[in-house]
């Protein structure tokens, strides 16, 4: 990482000291530079230039600038609509160029991050507030097109007040231009990462800045569509504390993560690493192989299986992510309402394969279980899963789902936000994904809340998991009017691994250590990794059309009656 030499863009000089805009304390300039412009006292992130951003993120001496390819010198500062400003537009543009030392409010080129090639573009707020006119839109579009043509990940760093008013509707059209350039990356499966810094507003936030596969926000950044002054003066609304901060957006599901500046480069490096191509040589994977024949499994009382599946110490999805997967990068939010901790997901690697992992999360302690709502997802949880499935489809990542839920949350707020539709859309999307889908019932598989993550090419089940149309207690309460009959209902519903393997609902059973997965989680994780790797290998070379056809026929066949059977019935 290159040291950042600060300018006076966001801090005031007092000799060798700076005044922090956050806490107003005096900071020693050289220490502030070593700290990448972050106040050691209050954590305030001072403003950086485009080149400082690039220097922070990329390997030293690897940046090759291409800005002039998109913005020829004779085109910079032209006045396309003859804007009638008190100070004409070309003079304002020239003053911004002199102040910033840049030809426009963006710098772009190619570089490497820990050896990974990237196309990188960073915006500079010093240049007319980082506003997006035709030249900025052209630069972003050219950067995206270059990334698409060379199949190189695109990294965008934003800092903008929005569209450039002095270019009228030509500036507005840059939203469409840059959005369609980002769409090309999604269509061709080229990774895009957007980093939103302070401030990012208006036309930039409403176009390319929000369209990366991954959208990160720098800690404390102000981000939104309409700025606070616009909101207050147009609709006269009083803004709540913390409104439009990076942390506010994370809480409301709009970004994948909020990252302090020193953590940005390491996180981007991890994201680039986890998306690298699969290992050419298959890895040797330890663990017991999955069991594919029901007669090889011993019988066990179904109610005892239910109790083991619900054991508070049974490994959760996050436990398996740390034990069976590598390089997991959690992504957050449904981009619509919020982030549901009952569903976790993100890219990871398992046995050398790059995958998208999506799973229900319960936790172990009371506080963890309350935070994750005991693994019962709200609509935003299933919408997050749907978004991650789209991400996987775009980047051609196989999907691995880990299912462990009593069922979808049945509360009032879930109904108000469309629980049924969210589950239905998730089932439909997973049924049409053009990549292999493997689901593992790791604990409870409760009804439609489980099926939303179990519409897969291969459905596996841990030895002490169960999968049911309704909980045993619910079945007993409805049919026998007493939840105390739950053990009998568990036996009647045929919910255990051997029974479901015999019915063809699941394809294989993952062995557990004696006494259950909670006794030795490491062994359970080894067995899960071996099973997933085995089926990923089997599905890797299946053509997409055949994969989709087989998935369709799999679910089409369940409960199918022949005409003669219908007549005899």
140-167: per-residue pLDDT in tens?
999 999 999 999 999 999 999 999 999 9
Integer Cα distance of 464 and 509 in angstroms: 9
Residue 237, pLDDT above cutoff 90? no
Is 401 annotated as contributing to ligand binding?
no
pLDDT, tens digit, for every residue of 496-525?
999 999 999 999 999 999 999 999 999 999
Kind and range of the H or E run holding 93: helix 89-100
Residue 195, pLDDT above cutoff 70? yes
Residue 4, pLDDT above cutoff 50? no
pLDDT of residue 283: 79
pLDDT of residue 34: 87
411 is written with which tokens?
């509360």
372 is written with which tokens?
């994750």
Residue 187, pLDDT above cutoff 80? yes
The predicted model gives 273-294 an average pLDDT of 89
The predicted model gives 228-244 an average pLDDT of 85
Integer Cα distance of 352 and 533 in angstroms: 9
The predicted model gives 267-288 an average pLDDT of 91
DSSP codes joined into one string, 476-493? HHHHSS-GGGHHHHHHHH
DSSP codes joined into one string, 39-62? -TTT--B----HHHHHHHHS-TT-
Indicate the pLDDT class of residue 3, thresholds 50, 70 and 90: very low
Q: Which one is predicted more confidently, 494 or 83?
A: 494
3-state secondary structure of 552: helix
pLDDT of residue 30: 87
Is 329 annotated as contributing to ligand binding?
no
pLDDT of residue 88: 86
CA angle 141, 147, 151 (to 5 degrees): 150
pLDDT, tens digit, for every residue of 111-124?
999 999 999 999 99
pLDDT of residue 1: 45
Is 20 annotated as contributing to ligand binding?
yes
Indicate the pLDDT class of residue 568, thresholds 50, 70 and 90: very low
Residue 403, pLDDT above cutoff 90? yes
Q: Which one is predicted more confidently, 229 or 142?
A: 142
Is 39 annotated as contributing to ligand binding?
yes
pLDDT of residue 13: 58
Residue 565, pLDDT above cutoff 60? no
Strands 116-123 and 106-113: antiparallel
Q: Which one is predicted more confidently, 292 or 568?
A: 292
Integer Cα distance of 315 and 363 in angstroms: 8
pLDDT of residue 296: 87
Tell me the β-bridge partners of 359.
344, 402
pLDDT of residue 33: 87
160 is written with which tokens?
């903008």
Least confident of 96-110, 280-294, 404-418: 280-294
Least confident of 127-141, 158-172, 341-355, 553-567: 553-567
How many C-beta neighbours within 10 Å does residue 523 have? 18
Indicate the pLDDT class of residue 2, thresholds 50, 70 and 90: very low
Prediction pTM value: 0.92
Indicate the pLDDT class of residue 9, thresholds 50, 70 and 90: very low
CA angle 476, 481, 486 (to 5 degrees): 25
Kind and range of the H or E run holding 221: none
392 is written with which tokens?
């996987």
Residue 251, pLDDT above cutoff 60? yes
Residue 493, pLDDT above cutoff 80? yes
- Residue ranges of E strands in 21-74: 26-28, 64-65
pLDDT, tens digit, for every residue of 432-457?
999 999 999 999 999 999 999 999 99
Indicate the pLDDT class of residue 8, thresholds 50, 70 and 90: very low
Could you tell me which residues come within 8 angstroms of residue 213 by beta carbon, excluding any fewer than 6 positions away? Answer: 185, 186, 191, 192, 193, 391, 394, 395
Integer Cα distance of 361 and 353 in angstroms: 23
């Amino acid at each position: 990482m290159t040291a950042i030499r600060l300018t006076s863009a966001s801090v005031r000089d007092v000799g060798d000291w700076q005044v922090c805009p956050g806490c107003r304390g005096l900071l020693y300039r050289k220490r502030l530079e070593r700290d990448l412009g972050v106040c050691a006292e209050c954590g305030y992130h001072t403003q950086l230039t485009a080149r400082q951003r690039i220097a922070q993120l990329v390997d030293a001496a690897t940046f090759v600038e291409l800005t002039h390819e998109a913005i020829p010198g004779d085109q910079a500062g032209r006045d396309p609509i003859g804007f009638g400003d008190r100070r004409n537009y070309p003079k304002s543009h020239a003053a911004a160029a002199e102040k910033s030392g840049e030809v426009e409010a963006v710098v772009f080129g190619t570089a490497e991050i820990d050896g990974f090639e990237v196309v990188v573009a960073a915006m500079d707020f010093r240049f007319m507030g980082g506003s997006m006119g035709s030249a900025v839109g052209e630069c972003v579009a050219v950067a995206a097109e270059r990334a698409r043509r060379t199949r190189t990940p695109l990294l965008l760093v934003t800092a903008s007040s929005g569209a450039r008013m002095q270019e009228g509707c030509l500036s507005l059209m840059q939203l469409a231009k840059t959005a369609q350039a980002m769409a090309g990356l999604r269509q061709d499966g080229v990774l895009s990462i957007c980093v939103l810094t302070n401030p990012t507003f208006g036309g930039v936030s409403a176009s390319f800045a929000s369209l990366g596969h991954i959208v990160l926000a720098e800690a404390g950044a102000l981000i939104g569509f309409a700025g606070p002054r616009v909101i207050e003066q147009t609709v006269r609304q009083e803004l709540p504390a913390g409104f439009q901060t990076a942390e506010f957006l994370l809480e409301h599901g709009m970004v994948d993560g909020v990252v302090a500046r020193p953590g940005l480069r390491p996180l981007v490096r991890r994201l680039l690493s986890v998306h690298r191509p699969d290992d050419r040589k298959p890895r040797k994977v330890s663990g017991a192989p999955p069991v594919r024949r029901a007669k090889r499994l011993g019988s066990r009382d179904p109610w005892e299986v239910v109790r083991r599946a619900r054991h508070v110490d049974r490994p959760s999805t996050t436990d398996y992510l740390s034990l069976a997967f590598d390089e997991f990068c959690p992504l957050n939010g449904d981009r619509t309402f919020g982030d549901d901790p009952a569903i976790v997901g993100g890219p990871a690697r398992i046995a050398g394969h790059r995958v998208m992992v999506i799973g229900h999360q319960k936790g172990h302690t009371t506080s963890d279980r309350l935070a994750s709502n005991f693994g019962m997802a709200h609509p935003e949880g299933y919408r997050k899963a749907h978004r991650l499935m789209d991400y996987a489809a775009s980047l051609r990542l196989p999907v691995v789902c880990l299912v462990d839920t009593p069922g979808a949350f049945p509360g009032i707020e879930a109904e108000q936000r469309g629980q049924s539709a969210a589950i239905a859309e998730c089932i439909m999307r997973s049924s049409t994904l053009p990549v292999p889908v493997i689901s593992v019932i790791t604990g409870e598989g409760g009804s439609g809340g489980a099926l939303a993550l179990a519409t897969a090419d291969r459905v596996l089940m841990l030895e002490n998991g169960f999968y049911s149309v309704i909980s045993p207690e619910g079945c007993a309460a409805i049919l026998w009017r007493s939840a105390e009959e739950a053990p009998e209902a568990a036996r009647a519903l045929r919910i255990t691994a051997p029974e479901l393997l015999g019915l063809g609902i699941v394809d294989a059973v993952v062995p557990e250590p004696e006494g259950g997965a909670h006794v030795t989680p490491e062994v359970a994780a080894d067995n899960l990794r071996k099973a997933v790797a085995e089926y990923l290998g089997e599905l890797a070379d299946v053509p997409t059309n055949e994969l989709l056809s087989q998935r369709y026929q799999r679910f089409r066949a369940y409960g199918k009656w022949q005409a003669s059977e219908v007549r005899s019935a």
